[in-house]
Structures are given as C-alpha cells and as structure tokens.
C-alpha cells in the first residue's frame, strides 16, 4: 500500500463522539462493527474499555505507533491554527473553546496510540484503504466511516465514494457515513450523486439526524443498506 506519511493529517475523535456521530445504540454497540478510515480515533480503544471488540481500518496502520505519534506532533500546530482561524464553522457548545477542542483531540489520539501499541497482534487495527476492504462478504453488521468520505469531496470523486460505500455494504449489512459536509464545512457536493447512483443500483439510502453537531449543520449521517 503506497501511502506517504506526508499525505496523512491525523485528527482523531473520541469514543463518546463516535457513539453520537453514528447514533449508536447499546444494541448497535453489541453488533459486529468495522470502522473505516478510523486513523487515530479512540473509538476502538473505547470499545475495548467497554469489553467490546471492533475492527478499525485505515491505511496509516501500516506505520508503527512511534511513526504515527511523530506525525501527530508534526501536524498538531497547523490543525490548531486552522481551527482558531475558522471558529465560525463550529458550534462551541459542548466544546467551549479551540483550546478545549485541541485538548480533547490530543486526549483521544493519546488513548488511540496506547491502545494501538498494546493491540498490534489482536487484529483490531487492520491496514486497508477504501475502496477495498480485506474482509469476506457479510462479515459485519455495521460499517462506519467518520470524516473521510464526503469530508474529502474536493479530492475524492463521486466514483470513489460510490465504490467505497458499495464495498462497505459488501462486508456489512449497513453502512453509516458521517458527516455529509466537506472539509470547508459546506454540504458535500457528492451527496446527491452518491444517493441517486446507489438508489439506481438497488441500495436503500436514507439521511438521519444524529445527536451530535460540532461543524455547523453537521448533524446528519447517511445510512445505506443493500435494500
């Protein structure tokens, strides 16, 4: 897998954020979940803390803990500056200030790094890049994807999105993608085409409101199933 570390901007969310971004119920959390493009998020670590198991996939998992830790350090100040220069794009309700946000993200990534180092041979972190997932058909109940599809609408075309969602639906009964905004916090221009092309292929697509909004108007997820 030819991934250059310079292409990766690590920014990981917490277990609690995942639960709300994807409106995961207790029942959902007890199912077989694969979480795609998980990067340095702490969802997997949080699940382990609850005595549950989830598989995370991301191309950065070809790197070891120390390499990912260094990359987090290298990019942290730029990301922090971007947030401080664009405060109007976010809802500062539960996370009151940019400093709180940076602290929260660093806490989540620190939790990820610890779990990642401890779990290398448990198979919970699998190096894989969409639109391909190295799992058999119907291996999971739910496939999640946070802040990758739709977020990078400027560099990932509609074809990539459609192939990726179909792949997520091949390995799981249902795919959930959050948010439906691009990196500038604008509604992703890909949502319409992805919805209509998947509909033509017989998939059921719905948009659900979720109890999480940090990017303004970013409280919607796409739920796709084979119908």
Contact residues toward ligand SAM (CB under 6 A) are 8, 11-13, 36-39, 41, 58-60, 129-130, 146-148
Closer Cβ to ligand SAM, 8 or 113, answer by number: 8
Residue 114 tokens read as: 């610890």
Q: Among 122, 83, 113, which residue's Cα sits nearest to residue 99? A: 83
> Rounded to the nearest whole angstrom, what is the least distance from the CB of residue 121 to ligand SAM in the complex?
21
> Rounded to the nearest whole angstrom, what is the least distance from the CB of residue 13 to ligand SAM in the complex?
4
Closer Cβ to ligand SAM, 22 or 203, answer by number: 22
Closest residue to ligand SAM, judged by C-beta, is 39
CA dist 174 and 145 (Å) reads 11
Closer Cβ to ligand SAM, 81 or 204, answer by number: 81
Q: From the CA atom positions of the chain, what is the Rg in Å?
A: 17
> Rounded to the nearest whole angstrom, what is the least distance from the CB of residue 201 to ligand SAM in the complex?
21
> Rounded to the nearest whole angstrom, what is the least distance from the CB of residue 172 to ligand SAM in the complex?
15
> Rounded to the nearest whole angstrom, what is the least distance from the CB of residue 116 to ligand SAM in the complex?
12
Contacts from 52-56 at CB under 8 Å and sequence distance 24+?
53/124, 54/124, 55/123, 55/124, 55/125, 55/126, 55/140, 56/124, 56/125, 56/126
Closer Cβ to ligand SAM, 55 or 130, answer by number: 130
Neighbours of 183 (CB within 10 A): 16
Closer Cβ to ligand SAM, 29 or 36, answer by number: 36
DSSP 26: H
Residue ranges of alpha helices (H) inside 96-179 are 98-118, 158-171
């Amino acid at each position: 897998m030819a991934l250059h570390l310079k292409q990766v901007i690590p920014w990981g969310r917490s277990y609690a954020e995942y639960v709300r971004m994807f409106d995961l119920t207790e029942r959902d959390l007890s199912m077989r979940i694969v979480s795609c493009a998980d990067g340095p998020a702490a969802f997997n670590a949080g699940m382990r803390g609850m005595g549950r198991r989830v598989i995370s996939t991301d191309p950065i998992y070809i790197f070891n803990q120390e390499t990912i830790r260094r990359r987090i350090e290298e990019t942290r100040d730029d990301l922090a500056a971007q947030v401080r220069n664009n405060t109007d794009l976010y809802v500062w309700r539960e996370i009151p200030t940019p400093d709180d946000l940076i602290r929260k993200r660093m806490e989540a990534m620190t939790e990820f790094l610890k779990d990642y180092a401890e779990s290398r041979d448990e198979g919970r972190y699998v190096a894989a890049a969409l639109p391909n997932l190295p799992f058999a058909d119907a291996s999971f109940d739910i496939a999640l994807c946070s802040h990758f599809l739709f977020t990078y609408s400027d560099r990932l075309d509609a074809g990539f999105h459609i192939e990726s969602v179909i792949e997520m639906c091949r390995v799981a009964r249902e795919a959930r993608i959050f948010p439906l905004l691009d990196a500038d916090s604008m509604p992703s221009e890909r949502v319409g085409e992805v919805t209509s092309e998947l509909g033509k292929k017989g998939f059921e697509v719905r948009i659900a409101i979720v109890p999480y909004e940090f990017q303004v108007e970013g409280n919607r997820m796409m739920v796709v199933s084979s119908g």
